[in-house]
Amino acid sequence: MIHKEISLNPEVPDVKLVTYLLSPSREVKVGEKKPAVIVCPGGAYQFLSDKEGEPIALKYNGEGFHSFVFRYHVGTDEYTKQPQPIIDLAKAILIIKQHADEWEVDPDKISICGFSAGGHLCAMYSSLWKDKWLCKTCGCKSEDLKISAAVLAYPMADYVLVETMRRKSPTNLMDQVNTVMTGTKDPDMDIIEKCSPLSYVNKNTVPCFIWHTFQDELLDVRNSLHFAEKLSEYQVPFELHVYEEGRHGLALACEATDCEKQEKERTAVEWFQDMIGFLRRGRA
């Protein structure tokens, strides 16, 4: 395995792309380019969850994917505010495509996979990749930023719903999320809408695999239901899985990420293989 960290912004050293590249082997598809996936951990834009990073990347490796972990900036300073994480994710995708030949990556089969806040980031990118402002900011053509699919794990996909629920039952966590993303814990609803993935779904949104649990206590399952409904309106291919059991932040939903000895849920554990099947239908 080729494992290294690539800085995406010298002025913000914690913004990195970490590679988990499969080493060339005479036994496995010699010289053939492989699909790739960029993993975006969650953490409410305040930290990056380790269990939603490397364990996910290694699991993808086991299925024949090159994988990457995108370590975006988190915290309460100005750099975390939208749309900066989207811009940095675009830069990560450009770097992978620029090294596609060297790393034996199929540039037409690059997916993104995000959890919770990382799911919010991936859901935003899934629709905004073709926007002129993003291409101009990155100095490239829209096709350079195109991806094959987005995998959204218990994502904050309907920010308006999340904010509506916060206003009825305020929590310190969601106050902090608002502050990190918008600069204030009590933003106007029009700002919330501008930061909500649901607002941007369009005919160019990439195919999505979405999964959530009915029992999610932090992000209501309706985040995923509403996003899937919007995809359907625009005839964007998607697959939605709602598993009955499981708290928020299950990651792989198995022993590998069972840090609190209560995340091993036998219904949700199926999500990874369900997702691999979705990607292999022409997307990986």
pLDDT at 63: 96
Q: Residue 2 gets which letter from DSSP?
A: B
* Structural domains of the chain, with CATH: 5-279 (3.40.50.1820)
Mean pLDDT, rounded, for 82-108 = 97
Rama region for 245: left / alpha / beta (φ>0; ψ in -120 to 50; rest):
beta
Secondary structure of residue 197 in the 3-state scheme = helix
Does residue 258 carry a pLDDT above 70? no
Q: What is the pLDDT of residues 144-179, one digit of tens each?
A: 999 999 999 999 999 999 999 999 999 999 999 999
Percent with pLDDT over 90 in the chain: 83
CB 142 within 8 A of CB 97: no
pLDDT category at 126 given cuts 50, 70, 90 is very high
pLDDT at 255: 66
Read off the pTM: 0.95
Compare 168 and 259 and report the one with higher pLDDT: 168
β-sheet with 149-153: strand ranges across: 5-7, 16-20, 66-71, 34-40, 105-115, 149-153, 208-213, 238-243
pLDDT at 80: 87
pLDDT at 28: 67
Mean pLDDT, rounded, for 45-65 = 96
pLDDT at 61: 97
pLDDT at 26: 66
pLDDT category at 261 given cuts 50, 70, 90 is low
Mean pLDDT, rounded, for 130-156 = 97
pLDDT category at 78 given cuts 50, 70, 90 is confident
260 Cβ partners below 8 Å, 6+ apart? none
CB 211 within 8 A of CB 274: yes
Mean pLDDT, rounded, for 42-66 = 96
pLDDT at 105: 97
Range name among 86-95, 176-185, 210-219, 259-268 with the lowest pLDDT average? 259-268
Range name among 14-28, 90-104, 162-176 with the lowest pLDDT average? 14-28
